[in-house]
Amino acid sequence: MHHLLHIIEHAFLDSVKLLPILFIVYYLIEYFEHKNNNTFNHFMMKSKRTGPLFGGLFGCVPQCGFSVVAANLYAKRTITLGTLIAVFVATSDEAVPILLSYPERIGDILYVLLYKFVIACVSGLCVDLVYKSEIINENLCHNHTHEHGHIHGNCESCDDGPFIATVKHMIRIFLIVFITNIIVGYSIYMIGEETISEFLYTKRFLQPFLSALVGLIPNCAASCVLTELYAEGFLSFGALIGGLSTGAGVGMVVLFKTNKDFKNNLMIVGIVYIIGVLFGSLIQIFC
């Protein structure tokens, strides 16, 4: 019992240090989301074949709101499949705010964003080369009667304003990280850090496959767990990129809800998973 209480205390203290950074990052995101709801929609509709480049750029913003909007736009066929893939792959959800709380990992943020941006753009452009016959509804943006979705990436209701939404999201992420730290700490205590490290090292080639699978979980918990494992040294950088590349947050859920072509949705999931495994493995081998 004494060891368990010590693990919980240590996990709590490690998680508390996240709160100031989470609040600042999420409040800024909420503020700009409330100030500018529809610019992303219009911009992506008008981007046409350069969509994957801008999709990769917008997807790097630390939230899953853009993946939600991209899923809605793709369901209406107002953006290309490559653009949707680029947004999904570039989305890193909670990774950046969590890495900010680790001083020794802050330098990794630039590499995470750079790798994911390049992978997203390359993947999106390649997908569009294959699906040349895809029809884009270019006139929808000029129809002033169509509805626009509110870009709201923090998964909370915006009725109470950005401050309350930020606090709710901050608490939710804190609890996810806190529980993750308890599980990691208890596993280390029961199994032993050397045993875990040795196992992960010998099975290192499997990490991108497993992390990419975890990334497909349509919840911000996936990116939280992957980032925490990387920050604690249990996951390779390549595996982290692989997992974050498949982590489109709730964007995948919205895709299955709005896009009625089930086979097309499964194909998109398969493409995203292959991209995550492929580039995650390449980075792990060569970097």
> What is the structure's pLDDT at 106?
87
pLDDT of 136 > 90? The answer is: no
42 touches 141 (CB < 8 A):
yes
Predicted TM-score (pTM) of the model is 0.82
Q: pLDDT confidence of 13, banded at 50, 70, 90?
A: confident
pLDDT of 47 > 80? The answer is: no
pLDDT digits (tens, 9 = 90+) for 139-165: 554 444 444 444 554 555 555 677 888
Share of the chain above pLDDT 70, in %: 81
- Mean pLDDT over residues 183-196, rounded? 79
> What is the structure's pLDDT at 159?
59
Rounded distance between C-alpha atoms, residue 125 and residue 123, angstroms: 6
pLDDT of 63 > 80? The answer is: no
- Mean pLDDT over residues 226-248, rounded? 92
- Mean pLDDT over residues 26-50, rounded? 65
- Mean pLDDT over residues 188-204, rounded? 75
- Mean pLDDT over residues 197-215, rounded? 84
> What is the structure's pLDDT at 146?
45
Q: pLDDT confidence of 131, banded at 50, 70, 90?
A: confident
Residue 33, both tokens: 């989301």
215 or 187, greater pLDDT:
215
pLDDT of 282 > 90? The answer is: yes
Rounded distance between C-alpha atoms, residue 58 and residue 44, angstroms: 10
Mean pLDDT of the chain: 82
> What is the structure's pLDDT at 125?
94
For the chain, the farthest-separated pair of C-alpha atoms sits apart, in whole angstroms, at 66
> Which among 112, 38, 95, 75 is positioned nearest to 251, based on CA atoms?
75
